[in-house]
Amino acid sequence: MTGLARGIPRIHVDLAALKHNLAVVRRHTPGGRVMAVVKADAYGHGALVVAQSLAAEVEALAVARLDEALRLRAGGIRTPIAVLEGIFDTDGLQLAAQLGLDLIVHDALQVDLLERTSLPGRVRIWLKVDTGMGRLGVDVHAAGALWQRLTDCPAVAPPVGWMTHLAHARRGECPETDHQLALFAIASAGSGAPRNIANSAGILAWPRTHADWVRPGVMLYGVSPFAGEEGADCGLRPVMSLCSELIAVKALDAGDAVGYGGTWRTPRATRLGVVAAGYGDGYPRTLPSGTPVWVNGRPVPLVGRVSMDLLTVDLGPDAADGVGSPVVLWGAGGPSVEALAASIGTIGYELLCRITPRVPRITLGAEADRSAPPEPDCRAPAEAPSGARA
């Protein structure tokens, strides 16, 4: 493997797929402004490389916390960045103002903080309303008065935008989403300020949520937000591929035990492949025997327990695979992350985010750093916005 030692799993981040997925967002929301969500290290893909790829093509980026925004600014990102959890103290507010960050306000205490703090510049604000998610957000009935206080606050740049988050956006009828939209309309009525509602599910299934801005998250990375669907069903392409290689191949007799606890035994003589990847890299230990793993472009079953650094696959009695044969654990040219997640009762988001720091990332695409070129085996056969960016 060029640029990396043998026997090291890696993830490939396909920037061309990222751009393709952004184009899908644009097709669904023509004329809308895009706030691309790159929180949690861009869902495990690498926040800085993703932000660098998207910075000139979206109106804003969004992160969860102040420290995530600081890292992007330190990396040279000048695109507007919204901090979804907002700021809770004077020092953080001063720093956010110095760096030109956009802030979400979801509690009256944050309004109090803005009113009593002298800042080096005015900050752009979104007021988040809890319309049914039950997490962050001000009460619908208190929202109007808080919005007016923010509008009148000398520390706040106009206009103050409106934001909410969809809790039940699924395909087809969804009375919960209808109710959220009705409450949001009540809260923001008559303000004329920009509105920001749609997450990935809203973008794909609920045109009524598109409003002035949209916030694509997981769909940018090629993953469907809907249970029972895969990204390809939505016209998306996977951005992350978790790849490795065989580091050993051995012949086993019928009845031989494999792995901790001997939970799997060979039903017949076969050839066993040992893959350099395990739960220490983020591949779930709970994936059962039979989970598909792609070796040399074909699916073979995972067998035995996944261990910290290794996993094993049944290559079959006539397999010609050898040490160094390419392996795709999920992504382009392999199983979908959604299918693997569903098999252990979780969601693709979690698998993407659980990749551990020891796994190197290799970027693919025209803007990628080619200092460590990836092998082909694992690949699939700013203009600043106007004042409405608050």
Q: What is the pLDDT of residues 220-242, one digit of tens each?
A: 999 999 999 999 999 999 999 99
Instruction: Give the separation between CA 156 and CA 261, rounded to whole angstroms.
Output: 61
Percent of the residues in the chain that have a pLDDT greater than 70, as a whole number: 93
Planar angle of CA 310, 243, 346, nearest 5 degrees: 75
Q: What is the pLDDT of residue 7?
A: 83
Summarize pLDDT for 256-266 with one digit per residue, the tens: 999 999 999 99
Q: What is the pLDDT of residue 283?
A: 98
Whether the pLDDT of residue 383 is over 80: the answer is: no
Whether the pLDDT of residue 108 is over 80: the answer is: yes
Instruction: Give the separation between CA 8 and CA 127, rounded to whole angstroms.
Output: 45
Residues 156-168 have a mean pLDDT of: 97
Active site (annotated) includes residue 128 = no
Query: Tokens 């094993």 identify what position?
Result: 312
Of residues 19, 39, 221, 279, which has the active-site annotation? 39
Q: Where in the chain is the domain with CATH 3.20.20.10?
A: 15-225
In this structure, what token pair is assigned to residue 201? 């599910």
Q: What is the pLDDT of residue 366?
A: 56
Q: Are 129 and 184 in contact (CB under 8 A)?
A: yes
CA nearest to 145, candidates 105, 182, 174: 105
Whether the pLDDT of residue 156 is over 60: the answer is: yes
Planar angle of CA 231, 301, 238, nearest 5 degrees: 20
Q: What is the pLDDT of residue 173?
A: 87
CA torsion angle 240 341 133 385 (round to 10): 10
Residues 81-98 have a mean pLDDT of: 97
CATH fourth-level superfamily of 15-225: Alanine racemase (3.20.20.10)
SS3 152: helix
Active site (annotated) includes residue 39 = yes
Instruction: Give the separation between CA 167 and CA 177, rounded to whole angstroms.
Output: 7
| 312 or 368: which leads in pLDDT | 312
Q: Where in the chain is the domain with CATH 2.40.37.10?
A: 240-376
Residues 303-330 have a mean pLDDT of: 97
Of residues 19, 43, 260, 283, which has the active-site annotation? 260
Query: Tokens 């049944």 identify what position?
Result: 314
Mean pLDDT of the chain: 92
Instruction: Write the CATH number of the domain with boundaries 240-376.
Output: 2.40.37.10
In this structure, what token pair is assigned to residue 15? 């920037």
Residues 151-174 have a mean pLDDT of: 94
In this structure, what token pair is assigned to residue 354? 């659980």
